[in-house]
Amino acid sequence: MPQGPDIAPGRLTDVELALNFSDAHPPLTHAQAVVEADRCFYCYDAPCIEACPTGIDIPRFIRAIATDNMAGSARIILESNILGGSCARVCPTEILCEQKCVHNTREEGQPIRIGMLQRHATDWQMDHGGQPFTRAAPTGQRIAIVGAGPAGLACAHRLAMHGHDVVIHDRHALAGGLNEYGVAAYKLADDFAQREVDFLLSIGGITFEGGKVLGRNMTVASLRREYDAVFLAVGLAGVRSLGIEGEDLDGVMNAVDFIEGLRSANRQTVPVGRRVVVIGGGNTAVDAAVQARRLGAEDVTLVYRRGAENMSATPVEREWAQTNGVTVRLWAAPVRLVARDGVLDGIEFARGRIGPDGRPAYDPDDTFVVAADMVLKAVGQTFMPDPLNGESIAISGGRIMVDATGQTTMQGVYAGGDCTPGEDLTVAAVRDGRDAAEAIHAAYMAAGR
Amino acid sequence: MADLRTNFVGIRSPNPFWLASAPPTDKEYNVRRAFEAGWGGVVWKTLGEDPPVVNVSSRYGSLDYNGTRMIGLNNIELISDRPLATNIAEIKSVKRDYPDRAVVVSLMVPCVEESWKAILPIVEETGADGIELNFGCPHGMSERNMGAAVGQVPEYVEMVTRWCKQNTRMPVIVKLTPNITNILMPARAALRGGADAVSLINTVQSVIGVDLDLMAPMPVVDGQGTHGGYCGPAVKPIALRMIGDIARDPELARLPISGIGGIGSWRDAAEFLAMGATTLQVCTAAMHYGFRIVEDMTDGLSAWMDQKGYATIADVTGRAVERFVPWNRLNMKFKTIAKIDQDACIKCGLCHIACEDTSHQAIARSKVDGERHYEVIDEECVGCNLCAHVCPVDECITMQPQPVDGVLTWPEHPSNPARVTVGS
Ligand SMILES: Cc1cc2nc3c(=O)[nH]c(=O)nc-3n(C[C@H](O)[C@H](O)[C@H](O)COP(=O)(O)OP(=O)(O)OC[C@H]3O[C@@H](n4cnc5c(N)ncnc54)[C@H](O)[C@@H]3O)c2cc1C
Ligand SMILES: Cc1cc2nc3c(=O)[nH]c(=O)nc-3n(C[C@H](O)[C@H](O)[C@H](O)COP(=O)(O)O)c2cc1C
Ligand code: SF4
Ligand code: SF4
Ligand code: SF4
């Protein structure tokens, strides 16, 4: 008779784990990249550019691959998006650039593989060219950034380019934010997040201070006093709970914590349930489910309370879950966690459908139980305003309010990335960071200093 | 089923597709394979006097474009580098085994009558159907006063042709070099010399590219390069024009033409026939894909002829020639206007930017319901066709001929300062 639920590390051999967590989409060879690049029409006013949150000049960088101008290709990408390497790996291109590629209209489902080409060019740069940008003459300006995720890093690099000195503070020991602790391991294999951080920081003028927590080691007001400007890029530190009976049972955990655990430890030591249920319909739910499978869970079920069309995970991600052996169940809302002898044993769901008023309705009498040793909650992350308590920074709709330039309601304090309104995507965070840096720099120039 | 058989100055072949004098026809081994694959004839790789020439190593250069290999090929090879006797024995053996196929022997010997007098009986003895005089090779041989060095001087063309006609009963085909300003000059010279037919084009003088590491023209031979002869799909337009020039020339109208230069498909073949060719010679396409390409050439040509109601090759030969006119005969009242099929348009913007930057600013760019929209401004369109060529979607931009009100050519045009006025 086990003492707790069947949760254990080491369900697979090292070899199996290494394979399961290697690159999900191996890179193109140069020959493949050139063939793909040659397919691009080099559109004028290309729709793909508009669909990229960082506005990379896609036809130009692709043409540069076709002409074997690899340094030029990488520069075009990195000029707009210094995290072009991780974006190439993590962007849901099927709802961004590739969705808008004109090839979709001509040959259904055959867009240019923009993400793969972007990876080809940025990999080339990191392997052959190193840091392609240099710093402008020092301005003497010092800028504090809180949060070393994509938003904070992109902001830091752009500020450093303009000659400012930057200090990034982060709660974590390593820089990278969710690239290091959140995104699925097989999307950023081979320690790519840290390699990219090293590449980015190699421009110089950026100091990373790990283990520094806003609200504990410092406040916005103290940073504002010490520095010429502040950029907040603290992401989403909170998670929603289910608010149902049994949520505190052993074996019930937040999907983001489960993922952070497996991203930061030797995977042989990461405990995973034999039967895992993931609740949620987004990216995070899919990533948690697939990675649980790949750690060796026998049975993984992803349960979402509404229909497939309502999931925020893209069809490509849903398919990815299914091809990885995850069972997807729709129209079921969690009602309570089921324990036997005080040990987690499953989770009960109420069946639902669209009610007469057009909104989802769940029947409390029509329920079923899915057996589980581990339940991962992925029902949404939230912005935690606590570190900003007592500051004159307005929060609106649960996120930090910013104007068109990325400035908060406190003069000289900017914010961007997941902690501000807008899509929660790596590439959007990069855009916010870059644009805030430009705004900070523009304000410095306007002040005539 | 269309009848593809041809009779070219008495040389019969089951179809008009011959292999041009080049590596594919260098040896008995190749030629037998070619005949097995279905080629109608061959022009044997050019023979010269013994001792045979010696070729260098590193011989071909390729022009690739946007991922497509060999849209043009150039070579710095010379004529056959095997002893005359070997070639002669092989020609004889092949002709004996394939009596229904055309076997023409290409020749190039020094520009003295004795040399020609000496080689002609040797060739005749093989049973070959005819000879082709290689006046075209633009490299190596021309530096020895043969090949293009002869082909570029009409008097020599006439002289050598006459020597041949006087010394053999075999039909004489004169192969012309395109490396000349006016192709009519050597063609007329060949006719004066008694040529039974002409074949064209031979290769175009070229430097195919530069190796930027070695800083030498390609193909590179031990650190250096030389100019070569250019052929393949890229030379087709040059060939079509020269063939058309000959075909429409009143003096040359009855001179049969074997068309060469960039033929790779039945469609190319049909175009050469339409511009005046009777047989077709192919080199690069075979070198690119092997002899099997002839299957689709014969098949496709035959199917197209059936569809168009052409029963024989002679029905197609020269069909387009009367409509190949000097610019001065074009009707200036004709107008055609581009039209975009909005349902087919994929919004790539290429038509707009091409017209906007480099033509007549006749394609407007706008957004309709948030979608990119491209529309031709009829009044601005001059009917240059550029947009239709750059559009990546077939049949998306079509050129719409407008109703024509009479005929007005440039010589009569009011804007022409030298116009001819009727009645004056
Ligand atoms: C599981 C998961 C998978 C995802 N997969 C994808 C994907 O495949 N593709 C995609 O485009 N997007 C994905 N996302 C979203 C993407 O990761 C985020 O949009 C992006 O990382 C946001 O960047 P950021 O810089 O705003 O925040 P983060 O990356 O969250 O970085 C915030 C940083 O701030 C630090 N921080 C927080 N609070 C404090 C504090 N009080 N003091 C000091 N430091 C603090 C954190 O330690 C962290 O390093 C995923 C998200 C999750 C959770
Ligand atoms: C490698 C090579 C060698 C050639 N050698 C000869 C030759 O010996 N005699 C000749 O008359 N033409 C020679 N040619 C020219 C071809 O016969 C032909 O005229 C030319 O290639 C154009 O046809 P294409 O575009 O189909 O290749 C040669 C061409 C190539 C590519
Ligand atoms: S839309 Fe597609 S084809 Fe056009 S430029 Fe972008 S990637 Fe190339
Ligand atoms: S035909 Fe020429 S002028 Fe007319 S729209 Fe097209 S590109 Fe412009
Ligand atoms: S080139 Fe063709 S497909 Fe592209 S915008 Fe113009 S009409 Fe549309």
Contact at CB, B349 and A106, closer than 8 angstroms: no
By CA distance, what is B355's nearest residue in A? Answer: A44
Exposure of A219 by Cβ count < 10 A (0-12 exposed, 13-18 middle, 19+ buried)?
A: middle
Q: Please indicate whether, in this complex, the C-beta atoms of B67 and A38 are within 8 angstroms of each other.
A: yes
| For ligand 5, mutation pick of B339, B342, B351 (most atoms within 8 Å of CB) | B351
Tell me how far apart the alpha carbons of residues B226 and B207 are, in angstroms, rounded to a whole number: 7
Rounded to an integer, the average pLDDT of B236-248 is 98
The H or E element that residue A366 is part of is strand A360-371
User: What are the tens digits of pLDDT across the range B289-333?
Assistant: 999 999 999 999 999 999 999 999 999 999 999 999 999 999 999
CB contact under 8 A, B346 and A106: yes
Dig out the tokens for A341 from the structure: 């002898």
Quote ipTM for the complex. Answer: 0.84
Element (H, E) at A432: helix A426-446
Q: Are B359 and B388 in contact (CB under 8 A)?
A: no
Q: Determine contact, residues B14/B104, Cβ cutoff 8 Å.
A: no
DSSP A210: E
Instruction: Indicate the SS3 state at residue B316.
Output: helix
Bridge-based pairing state of the strands A381-382 and A238-239: antiparallel
d(CA B70, CA B72): 5
CB A189 within 8 A of CB A21: yes
pTM, to two decimals? 0.89
Please give the full DSSP string across B124-167, using - where no structure is assigned: HTTT-SEEEEE----SSSGGGT-THHHHT-HHHHHHHHHHHHHH
Question: What are the tens digits of pLDDT across the range B299-310?
Answer: 999 999 999 999
Q: For residue A404, what are the contacts with CB-CB under 8 A and spacing of at least 6?
A: none
The span from the CA of B111 to the CA of B171, in Å, is: 20
Pairing of strands A229-232, A272-273: unpaired
Q: How far is the CA of B419 from the centre of ligand 3 (A)?
A: 50
Domain boundaries, chain A: 30-129, 142-237+390-446, 240-377
Contact call for A102 and B67, based on CB within 8 A: no
How does pLDDT run across B81-107, given as a tens digit for each residue? 999 999 999 999 999 999 999 999 999
| Cα–Cα distance for residue pair A290/A187, rounded to 1 Å | 12
CATH number of B6-323: 3.20.20.70
Active-site residues of B: which are they? 137
Please tell me the total number of residues recorded for chain B in this structure. Answer: 424
Among B214, B280, B223, which Cα is nearest to B39's?
Answer: B280
Are A44 and B372 an interchain contact pair (Cβ–Cβ within 8 Å)? no
Domain residue spans in chain B? 6-323, 328-412
Considering the domain B328-412, what is its CATH architecture? 2-Layer Sandwich (3.30)
Residue B422 has pLDDT above 80, yes or no: no
Distance CA A70, CA B188 (A): 54
Instruction: Give the pLDDT of residue A2.
Output: 52
Q: Residue B237 and residue B200: Cα distance in Å, rounded?
A: 12
Query: Any bridge partners for residue B217, and if so which?
Result: B210
Helix (H, G, I), strand (E, B) or coil at B418: coil
What homologous superfamily does CATH list for A240-377? FAD/NAD(P)-binding domain (3.50.50.60)
Of B326, B368, B316, the closest CA to residue B345 belongs to B368
> A100: which chain B residues are within 8 Å (Cβ-Cβ)?
none
How many Å lie between the centroid of ligand 2 and the Cα of residue B89?
Answer: 22
Average pLDDT of chain A?
96
* Mutational test site, ligand 1, from A23, A234, A381, A400, max ligand atoms within 8 Å of CB: A234
Give me the torsion for CA of B349, B352, B357, B358, rounded to 10°: 120
Q: What is the pLDDT of residue A3?
A: 73
* Rounded CA separation B133/B151 (Å): 10
The whole-number average pLDDT for the span B242-251 is 97
Backbone angles phi, psi at B314, to 5 degrees: -60, -30
- Tell me: the pLDDT tens digits for B255-299? 999 999 999 999 999 999 999 999 999 999 999 999 999 999 999
pLDDT of amino acid A148: 98
Residue nearest to atom 26 of ligand 1 (CA): A417
Question: pLDDT band for position A259 (50/70/90)?
Answer: very high
Confidence of residue A1 (pLDDT cuts 50, 70, 90): very low
Chain A / chain B CB contacts < 8 angstroms: 37
Residue range A111-128: average pLDDT? 97
| Integer Cα distance of B203 and B222 in angstroms | 24
pLDDT, tens digit, 9 for 90 and up, residues B26-49: 999 999 999 999 999 999 999 999
Contact predicate A350/A362, CB 8 Å: yes
Mind listing the pLDDT tens digit for each residue in B180-212?
999 999 999 999 999 999 999 999 999 999 999
Interface probe, candidates A44, A67, A68, A103, chain B, greatest B C-beta count within 10 A: A44
Q: How far is B342 from chain A (nearest CA, A)?
A: 12
A159 and A203 in contact (C-beta within 8 Å)? no
pLDDT single digits (tens) A342-388: 999 999 999 999 988 989 999 999 999 999 999 999 999 999 999 99
- Exposure letters A271-300 (e unless 16+ CB within 10 A, then b): bbbbbbbbbbbbbbbbbbbbbbbbbbbebb
CATH number of A142-237+390-446: 3.50.50.60
**Roughly how many angstroms between the first and final C-alpha of chain B, as a whole number?**
55
Q: How many CA atoms lie within 13 A of A252 on its CB side?
A: 23
**What average pLDDT does this structure show over A50-75?**
97
Q: For testing the chain B interface, which of A38, A40, A101, A102 should be mutated: the one with the most B CBs within 10 Å?
A: A102
* Ligand 3 interacting residues, C-beta cut-off 6 A: A 40-43, 46-48, 58-59, 62, 101-103, 112, 114; B 348
B84 close to B121: Cβ distance less than 8 angstroms? no
Using an 8 Å Cβ cutoff, are A50 and A100 in contact?
A: yes
Q: State the best of B71, B346, B352 to mutate against chain A, taking most chain A CBs within 10 Å.
A: B346
B348 with A43: Cβ contact below 8 A: yes
pLDDT band at A390 (very low <50, low <70, confident <90, very high): confident
CA distance A74 to chain B (A): 20
Note the Cα B145 to chain centre separation in Å: 24
pLDDT band at A251 (very low <50, low <70, confident <90, very high): very high
State yes or no: pLDDT of A223 exceeds 50. yes
b (16+ CB within 10 A) / e for A318-356: bebbeebebebebbbbbbbbbbeeebbbbbbbbbbeeee
For residue A221, with 0-12 CB atoms within 10 Å meaning exposed, 13-18 middle and 19 or more buried, which class applies?
A: middle
Q: Are A157 and A200 in contact (CB under 8 A)?
A: yes
Judging by DSSP bridges, how do beta strands B102-107 and B130-134 pair with one another? parallel
**Radius of gyration (Cα) for chain B, nearest Å?**
24
Share of chain B above pLDDT 70, in %: 98
Eight-class DSSP state of B421: P
CA nearest ligand 5 atom 7, residue:
B345
From CA A118, how far away is CA A82, in angstroms rounded?
12
User: Residue A189: left if φ>0, alpha if ψ -120 to 50, beta else—which one?
Assistant: beta
The CATH architecture one would assign to domain A30-129 is Orthogonal Bundle (1.10)
Asked if A275 and A344 touch (Cβ cutoff 8 Å), the reply is no
List C-alpha distances in Å: B165 to B9, B159, B278: 14, 10, 21
In the predicted model, is pLDDT for residue A214 greater than 90? yes
- Is A30-129's fold the same as A240-377's? no
Q: Would you say the CB of residue B134 lies under 6 angstroms from ligand 2?
A: yes
Q: Is the pLDDT of residue B420 over 80?
A: no
Q: How far apart are CA A439 and CA A405, in angstroms?
A: 6
Cβ-based neighbours of B418, under 8 Å, separated by 6 or more: B411
What DSSP string describes A64-107? HHHTT-HHHHHHHHHHH-TTHHHHHHH--GGGTHHHH-THHHHS
Q: Which residue lies with its CA nearest to atom 50 of ligand 1? A: A183
Q: Say if CB B202 and CB B284 are below 8 A apart.
A: no
* Tokens coding A295: 């750690």
Burial B262-297 (b: 16+ CB within 10 A, else e): bbbebebbbbbbbbbbbbbbbbbbbbeeebebbeeb
For residue B57, count CB atoms less than 10 angstroms from its CB and return exposed for 0-12, middle for 13-18, buried for 19 or more: exposed
